[in-house]
Amino acid sequence: MLKLGIIGTGWISAQFVEAAMLTGNYTLSAVYSRTLVNAEKFAANLSVGGVEIFDDLTVFVAADLDVIYIASPNSAHFEQAKAVLSADKSVIVEKPAFSNPHELTEIIQLADKKQLFFFEAARNIHEAAFQTVKDFLADKTIVGADLTYAKYSSKMPALLAGELPNKWNPAMSGGILADLGVYLLYFSLGIFGKPEAVSYDAQLLPTGVDVSGTGLLDYADFTMTMKAAGNFTSYLPSEIYTTDGTLILDGISAISEAIFVSHDGVKETLDIPATADNPLFEEAGDFAAILSAGDLTGKNFQSWQALAKAVSETSLAMRQDAGIIFAADKK
């Protein structure tokens, strides 16, 4: 059993813990929060006994743990991940793992030096549906794609009321590209590879980060359009165009339906595996398999690292095109 530690006591941390426990490969051993009250409440709500509680990060990372999952504000990920690895623990960092490629590179280099694992938790590439779609497209000639992930954010009312949630704060590495956009980039780059050029037409808030935006990812033979938004919800499907027809997806994460319509109108429904009740179950299981095997040279692990780098570099290029600057970029 992998002894799991948690940094961050929000809903995503609770969901990951539940997913990890469902795999049968982890035991929740410790929780860190800046306040003991939050850490205690988090553990109590999960109804897991024997969990150590910490409000001192240095003491927490020195505890008897195998891997630590980080789901704090985006801008805090880098220093916390560095502390975890320096304490000889492997680390899982919720997407986006870091503010920019410089931070990502430093963490990967530290993990390599320590012979430890770093994972970015971008769940959609671990879902069986993603691989089904990728396999289906493997022998197709792509001529274009329109991908959409737009969902009205629970943090919009606070923003409209004059508050500044972390999600919309450049000091916290916020914005929609650094949120829902990560899923779009992982999907696109995971299937089509890294684009040759990118642009990003963003609707910027007065804070300087994007509340919505449309990106163009240019490949050698086609252009992919991606739309992300947090100020409205889109119910449009995503589509991938091929020389044989169009693949219609009901989502980019948690795909439950995929239908290919040929040019003559014939429909083929892909056999999409049922998703787990907990959407983080598959990624938690994948991470456990790699951690338990202890193979830093494994094909899956190496491909995830390469994809994380490509996504980070592409995201930065898009932000630069839109003039979005995080506080972390100035360091």
pLDDT value for 276: 82
Section 32-37 average pLDDT: 93
Domain 127-275, CATH: 3.30.360.10
Supply the pLDDT for residue 319. 98
Q: Is the pLDDT of residue 117 over 80?
A: yes
Return all residues near 109 (Cβ < 8 A) that are at least 6 apart.
none
- By residue count, the chain amounts to 331
Mean pLDDT for 220-249 is 98
Report the percent of the chain where pLDDT is more than 70.
Answer: 100
Mean pLDDT of the chain: 96
C-alpha closest to that of 185 among 279, 101, 106, 117: 101
| pTM (predicted TM-score) | 0.97
Q: Which residue is it, tokens 């650094």?
A: 178
* In the predicted structure, residue 49 carries a pLDDT above the cut 80: no
Q: Which of 33-37, 60-64, 101-105, 181-185 has the lowest mean pLDDT?
A: 33-37
Q: How far apart are CA 51 and CA 331, in angstroms?
A: 36
**What are the extents of the domains in the chain?**
2-120+281-297, 127-275
Beta bridge partners of 92: 69, 119
Per residue in 276-287, pLDDT tens? 899 999 999 999
One CATH from 3.40.50.970, 1.10.150.120, 3.40.190.290, 3.40.50.720 for 2-120+281-297: 3.40.50.720
Q: What is the pLDDT of residues 129-188, one digit of tens each?
A: 999 999 999 999 999 999 999 999 999 999 999 999 999 999 999 999 999 999 999 999
